[in-house]
Structure 1
Amino acid sequence: MKMLLAALVGTTLLSGAAHAATAPIRPDQQAFRALYKELIETNTTLSAGSCTAAAAKMAVRLKAAGFPDDRLITYATPEHPKDGGLVAILPGTSKALKPLLLLAHIDVVEAHREDWVRDPFTLIEEDGYFYGRGTVDDKAQAAIWTDIMVRFAQDKYRPKRTIKLALTCGEETSGAFNGAEWLAANKRDLIDAAYALNEGGGGRSNGTPIAKGGKLEVQTLQVGEKAYQDFTLTATNPGGHSSQPVRENAIYDLSEALLKIRDFTFPVEFNETTRIFFTKVGTARGDAVGKAMLALVANPQDKAALGVVSQDKMLNSMLHTSCVGTMVNAGHALNALPQRATANVNCRMFPGRTSEETQALLAAAIGNPAITIEARIKDKPIAKAPPLDPAITGPVEKLVAKHFPGVPFLPTMLTGATDGVYLEAVGIPTYGVPGYWLDPDGNGLHGLNERIEVASLYQGRDYLTDLVKALAN
């Protein structure tokens, strides 16, 4: 997003953020930091961690704040004892208004100490950043949501809407036990809500810390996301001795299939969110890419405009379903012709598109019926974009103007995927909220030395506190 966001109008220095980063932290921020530290330092990787333990620690904090036991529901299945989570419920005063759900996953991507500069499971504050696995994805949001519920209970705050918190596991590993999916399928009443607030939105800086004169370029509300699906491609052959090769070869057949997928472009599509995004950004840019963006909005079949826009990988991904080869495995011996070759093709399906139609388009692109294609996850939910509801977008944008004056605000579609797909599947519109911001390099998400700017975390927390209050009333 770096090139796109740098072209937006109105890049603005947040003078208040610079002060917040250097001033002593407030007592409420100190309490939040302790909660955040405990969550970061509880390992929740799939290989060696426990979401159940992390959820239990958050439940202890909520109970100490005044939540009764019947409003704190911890859960785990016998088959997945370490993949549990927590639902907390703060009753509202209105019986007419449906609840507001705060969703965050507490599992994290694997992190090995020998690869990191710092211990990934120790919260380290250094040069204006917090370092550690999950400092952004997604324990920043999990800690903020939990902290909001703690403070509301301590203050005996009674919103009109009931507010629910769901901390879940399994978002980071496709095919693992997924708490959001399990709750939606088995405990729908626990998370029933008018809508949910989730990860997927947020801000982007110009890469310089705010305390050192950096600028915040944009804040976004994620309205819709793609659906994640992996397909296994398989080519088979009788094989034989490598000293007598023949043209028919499972590796060659699979390679040709992958190259055809590389060269295949799924049809261009727009929904309400991406149409607004392309129109606003295209107008703001005014350059060749901006003009091409506007041309595509006017005519999605404009191949010349697509050729220009597709040079930006993020913009290109927003326009259609995308599929890419990510893993291959072939052969059984160094001196034998391969009998089998397989590849994983990872697809991110545009909202509304199914695994079946995506698979059919892949098969047509490959054009070789001998190559089998199988979806790795059956019955994958269809991604559904929630409505651009003014009752939600209005308060979101108004508070962006208050907390981040002069910073552009945009609705956007996430080209990745979150647990929101499981809530949307059961009728709970889910939005990725603005608030804390990242640097253009992505801050080490899913990679090494994950970090978040200290000012970003604290100011994002203040924004989200006001947003929850506004939407809950």
Structure 2
Amino acid sequence: MNAADEVARICQELIRIDSSNYGDGSGPGEAEAAAYVVAQLREVGLDPQVVESEPGRASVFVRIPGSDSALQALCVHGHLDVVPAHAADWQVEPFSGEERDGCIWGRGAVDMKGMDAMMLAVVRDLVRTGTSPRRDLVIGFFADEEAGGVYGSQWVVANHPEFFDGVTEAISEVGGYSVTLRRADGSQQRAYLLQTAEKGILWLRLTARGRAGHGSVPNDENPIVRLAQAIARIDAHDWPQEFIPSVQELLDGLSRITGIPNTGDLEPLLQHLGGAAGFVRGTLQDTANLTMLDAGYKHNVIPQDAHASVDCRFLPGHYETVMKTLKELCGDHVDIDIHHEDISLDSPFEGGLVEAMIAALQAEDPGAEVLPYCLSGGTDNKALSRLGITGYGFAPLQLPADLDFAPMFHGIDERVPVESLRFGTRVLHRLLTSY
């Protein structure tokens, strides 16, 4: 059995393990998923290491020696946690791993147990066949990515940097998947989006202060009103557009393929990306979105304070400007506390690893285009960058033109085609044995 033959089974079995991350420590944790990964690795004779930042918050690592000790090591990493799923909203039970219509359905199929399965399948095949990669491979499965990596990648980097000795580059989510574009002559062109950049993260807590009082008495210091006014100003703010290199290269590539100019209104160009356009729209400028509200405790009582949560994502180099702008928009009566923050990333669309990723894709899909893009979200590559490791998003999938793939990240009815997993496994195998 080769790697492509068992990737679907591994994906299904991983999905059936509920590793939901609620972000407040109340979820099941990653221990069961980590134990599954360990069993799959030990079955072929490997001896992985397991570390826990807290009970149940488990991450797994194993190093595969390369044949050329002069080469720097490569880290290939995934995460074992998933965002929660509300079963009533789904067509299938979200932790069933059911195969239907040629796809494997379930929470994590896309984000990112499908890639975890590809990693495991390839590593198992390398060991079974006695195939040595050219360079050392550090294979990692992190906890807690879906809540910022505090109990996963950030903790591992701070407490076990030795796992990454000799590592200079890394690959993980969210990139390497295909979109189908339409050329000016009407023909279709498949293009793969290779993630080279990530926006920074600011999860902020707004607190408006005011004067508590009876609900029947006029109050010009109502904290709910002050918070609402701040929210309205933030929502109305027109964040200026700025195209970082990866975004500009993507727009140029799309324009070249489709024949649509990338000046002025970009919507005709972005619409060619289908569901992936949402990711790209989020990288044209900084963003700040309201996500939660909390105020008051009784109908006839004006509270002393009111709270809101804001998910802010900033472009490389924009941290200080974004924070200054938000403070101005909030005004004198609303304080800003940083709940979680993380850096932006911007890696070059060039070099040996990029060339190897492109070659591996085009070997399996001749004639395909490969374009860079910036992710509006974030990955565990942020934590690894603190060790000087350059990270890319490369979870290769050749997708049907009619599958609206990108919205499945954290979405309902998440699923991945079996043939896409098999394709990605072949591409990943090529990359890890040739680079």
Q: What is the TM-score when the length of structure 2 is the normalising length? A: 0.88
Alpha-carbon spacing, 1:216–1:287, altered in 2? closer, same or farther (3 Å): closer
For the pair 1:60 / 2:24, whether they are aligned, the reply is: no
- Paired position in structure 1 for 2:98: 124
Aligned counterparts of 2:27 and 2:221: Cα–Cα separation in 1: 44
Residue 38 (structure 1) shift: 2.1
Residue 375 (structure 1) shift: 0.8
Residue 161 (structure 1) shift: 0.5
Aligned counterparts of 2:384 and 2:45: Cα–Cα separation in 1: 28
Cα distance per residue 1:25-66 (max 9 Å; x no partner): x76444333322221212211344341221222222212212
Instruction: Select which of 320, 337, 353 maps to 2:302.
Output: 337
CA contact (8 A) 2:199 2:314 kept: yes
For the pair 1:265 / 2:238, whether they are aligned, the reply is: yes
Alpha-carbon spacing, 1:453–1:139, altered in 2? closer, same or farther (3 Å): same
- Paired position in structure 2 for 1:440: 404
Percent identity between matched residues is 28
- Paired position in structure 2 for 1:458: 422
For the pair 1:346 / 2:322, whether they are aligned, the reply is: no
CA contact (8 A) 1:282 1:293 kept: no
Alpha-carbon spacing, 1:347–1:395, altered in 2? closer, same or farther (3 Å): same
Cα distance per residue 1:76-126 (max 9 Å; x no partner): 13xx22110110111112222111100100111112434432222222111
Indicate the larger mover: 134-143 or 274-283.
274-283
Aligned counterparts of 1:229 and 1:32: Cα–Cα separation in 2: 36
Residue 206 (structure 1) shift: 5.5
Residue 394 (structure 1) shift: 1.5
Residue 172 (structure 1) shift: 1.0
For the pair 1:43 / 2:23, whether they are aligned, the reply is: no
Aligned counterparts of 2:179 and 2:250: Cα–Cα separation in 1: 19
Instruction: Select which of 373, 382, 386 maps to 2:336.
Output: 373
1:209-248 equivalence runs, <5 A: 217-248=190-221
CA contact (8 A) 2:234 2:326 kept: yes
- Paired position in structure 2 for 1:328: 293
For the pair 1:250 / 2:223, whether they are aligned, the reply is: yes
- Paired position in structure 1 for 2:7: 32
For the pair 1:429 / 2:390, whether they are aligned, the reply is: yes
Aligned counterparts of 1:386 and 1:341: Cα–Cα separation in 2: 40
Cα distance per residue 1:118-141 (max 9 Å; x no partner): 222222111111111111111011
Aligned counterparts of 2:317 and 2:112: Cα–Cα separation in 1: 26
Aligned counterparts of 1:314 and 1:165: Cα–Cα separation in 2: 27
Alpha-carbon spacing, 1:287–1:27, altered in 2? closer, same or farther (3 Å): closer
CA contact (8 A) 2:109 2:414 kept: yes
Aligned counterparts of 1:226 and 1:45: Cα–Cα separation in 2: 24
Aligned counterparts of 1:411 and 1:38: Cα–Cα separation in 2: 32
The number of equivalent residue pairs is 412
Aligned counterparts of 1:60 and 1:264: Cα–Cα separation in 2: 51
Alpha-carbon spacing, 1:165–1:218, altered in 2? closer, same or farther (3 Å): same
- Paired position in structure 2 for 1:291: 263
Q: What is the TM-score when the length of structure 1 is the normalising length? A: 0.81
Alpha-carbon spacing, 1:146–1:216, altered in 2? closer, same or farther (3 Å): farther
Cα distance per residue 1:276-296 (max 9 Å; x no partner): 1122223444446x23279xx
Cα distance per residue 1:347-381 (max 9 Å; x no partner): 01212333x54322201233x2221111112xx34
Instruction: Select which of 345, 364, 367 maps to 1:403.
Output: 364
- Paired position in structure 1 for 2:274: none
CA contact (8 A) 2:62 2:140 kept: yes
1:158-237 equivalence runs, <5 A: 158-174=132-148, 177-192=150-165, 193-205=167-179, 217-237=190-210
Aligned counterparts of 1:448 and 1:440: Cα–Cα separation in 2: 12
Q: Secondary structure at the match of 2:306?
A: strand
Alpha-carbon spacing, 1:216–1:245, altered in 2? closer, same or farther (3 Å): farther
CA contact (8 A) 2:197 2:392 kept: yes
The Cα RMSD (Å) is 2.4
Q: What 5-or-longer segments of structure 1 have no aligned partner?
A: 1-25, 208-214, 295-311
Alpha-carbon spacing, 1:392–1:268, altered in 2? closer, same or farther (3 Å): same
- Paired position in structure 1 for 2:271: none
Instruction: Tell me the amino acid that sits aligned with residue 448 of structure 1.
Output: I
CA contact (8 A) 2:199 2:316 kept: yes
Aligned counterparts of 1:155 and 1:373: Cα–Cα separation in 2: 56
CA contact (8 A) 1:325 1:344 kept: yes
Aligned counterparts of 1:186 and 1:357: Cα–Cα separation in 2: 32
